Amino acid sequence: MKTQSRISAGSYRSQGFIARYQKLIKDTVIPYQYSVLCDEAPDTEKSHVVQNFINAGRAVRGEDTGDGFYGMVFQDSDAAKWIEAAAFSLIAFPDQELEAQVDRLIDRIAAAQDTDGYLNTYFTIKDKEKRWTNLLEGHELYCSGHMMEAACAYYKATGKDKLLRVMERNAEHIYDRFITKGQAGYPGHPEVELALMKLYRTTGNQHCLELAEHFINVRGVDADFYKKEKEMRSWTVWGNNAEDNNYQQSGMPVRKMHTAGGHAVRAVYLYTAMADLASETGDTELYAACCRLWESITRKQMYITGGIGSTVHGEAFSVDYDLPPDTAYAETCASIGLMFFASRMLENDINGEYADVMEQAFYNTVLAGMQLDGKRFFYVNPLEVVPGISGISPTHRHDLPERPGWYACACCPPNAARLISSFGEYAYGADADTAYCHMFAAGTVSFENGMKLNCETEYPYGFTVTYRVVEGGGWLAVRIPRWSRHFSLSVNGADHVLAPEKGYVRIPVSDGDTVQLILDDTPRFIYASSKVPALTGCTALCRGPLVYCFEGADNDGDVLSIRLRRNGNITISAGTQAPLCNVVRLHAEAVRIGQQDALYTDVPPVYMPYTATAVPYYTWGNRGENQMRVWINEIL
């Protein structure tokens, strides 16, 4: 059943748009985030992550634990994601100083591991006797999962296995607890399942595969597990409702799931592991469940930006077609998890739909989660912001008009950093005789099957993609995005006329061949289903993979009074002013409603001709607090 293998870390050397982002991660984000982890960054929430590991090491040695533990129960995961981002950055930009910094942090992590392989600073410092008694809230398995991912990435980047061995010992400890000794239960926050799959492939340790399969198989079989667990303890971390099976995806066995629900990040992390396991083992029943869940998300519960999880209540999916733009939650981590899910679905079936959504989430919500200078971050990604309401009204308090520097719950910033640094893992793939180009990314790619490609493109603003086969040969499978109404493809200058099959054109290539793809660069109006009540009578603008939005900064401070002309003329210009230099703007034919002072009036509005300016959604919020809208009312 498995159709492709992941290309090994280090096989993609970026150029162009992706390279600029990866360099930003290296030069700004990674150093800044490390200063946060060390509590050295000014004007940010205290993190205490590094000190937690130091204090846990003291506890393991029987010494005084200093100032104890500080932060969220899952604080360790911030260090893990930072290490993973640093690992992929080291592949692209070797840096002895950064590598030494990671090594020092790994030494502290290793010193915090208990003699039985247990690793978690919260419980080691605060509540050693409470280990493994609160799977619902304790996040022990979640933290282990992220550290396993970090260990695999750092080993691939450097060949150093200290953290890998630490996490193998930790996996064996978990295996002993849940397999050998038979403790009941499954993770409150799925993550370790997908991480164990990575650890299995990196080490070949069958216990990792068996443990991942176990946690997936037992989930929801006893739908009352968390309720029973809560009855056996007298303490809580934050008072989670143990009977809310929808929130924690625990109401039924995973193979019976049909509707995506509950906490959005937990959901897509779980679905990622399910798809990964289905690919590895050929489990058709598990894959069928993944297909149902994929359709539930992308057909009925996904924003145009690739954002998922529409409600602040539980950071969760709500119900089908409930996609309000102004109260959207659309957590950055959730779109990152959706990319994970899409990439694992591609391992089961090469279908352009998965790559389309992966691209949609990346170029819109994921990139919007980070300010253009790499110094501020969004946790929540609304599609409409009105200063004075957004971030202030009780119903809109979570939808901030500007990005904060950091968060007490800081999962999104390091998650974005590791995703951007590892972009090549999602853009390209290979099986024995075919190289797959899922997303268009300039740079050089060395595939596991021996083919080496160079890709030249100005994507996502330029729509010509040129591939040159540097070494090897076989088949090249190039995705044709569903948004491109037409395309042209040539091989060595000769037109290549083939209809895409499931979104990909397959071309036989040899050393020295040149393949050129030209996609449709026409801006387009997008309309939502009439089943989405909040978007009745509205339209949005897109060009290529980019969703556009209207900001007050470009529209005389007021986007609320704009109405777009149906099928109106759209022109293009390139930005020349910082911070949006070289960003393509769209200028759309519109009208503006004249100001009315009365709250309500029987006087019809006056419409004045206007040209409305839109910028890519990922760039919004970089020019101070102002209005923003993705969806605009349309007028004939």
What are 76-122's pLDDT values in tens digits?
999 999 999 999 999 999 999 999 999 999 999 999 999 999 999 99
- Which tokens in the block code for residue 455? 């890709």
DSSP state of 161: -
Cis ω on the peptide bond leading into residue 190 (within 30° of 0)?
Answer: no
Cα angle 432, 346, 514; round to 5? 55
The backbone torsions φ and ψ at residue 551, rounded to the nearest 5 degrees and listed phi first, read -115, 150
Identify the residue with better confidence: 47 or 627.
627
CATH number for region 429-519: 2.60.40
- Find tokens 């340790």 and name the residue: 205
Catalytic-role residue among 193, 280, 315, 331: 315
CA distance 148 to 207: 14
Is 315 in the active site?
Answer: yes
- Determine contact, residues 480/503, Cβ cutoff 8 Å: yes
- Partners of 484 in the beta sheet? none
| pLDDT number for residue 407 | 60
| pLDDT number for residue 409 | 59
| pLDDT reading at 8 higher than 50 | no
Name the segment(s) of the chain with CATH classification 2.60.40. Answer: 429-519
Catalytic-role residue among 143, 152, 208, 411: 411
CA distance 452 to 445: 6
Q: What is the mean pLDDT of residues 498-509?
A: 94
| pLDDT reading at 406 higher than 80 | no
| pLDDT reading at 11 higher than 80 | no
The string of pLDDT tens digits covering residues 341-385 is 999 999 999 999 999 999 999 999 999 999 999 988 898 999 999
Is 347 in the active site?
Answer: no
DSSP state of 99: H
Distances (CA, A) of 632 to 351, 363, 549, 559: 32, 21, 9, 9
Q: How confident is the model at residue 43 (pLDDT cuts 50, 70, 90)?
A: confident
Please, what is the average pLDDT of the chain?
Answer: 94
Q: How confident is the model at residue 7 (pLDDT cuts 50, 70, 90)?
A: very low
Q: Which residues have CB under 8 Å from 530's CB, separation 6+?
A: 536
H helix or E strand, kind and range, residue 509: strand 504-509
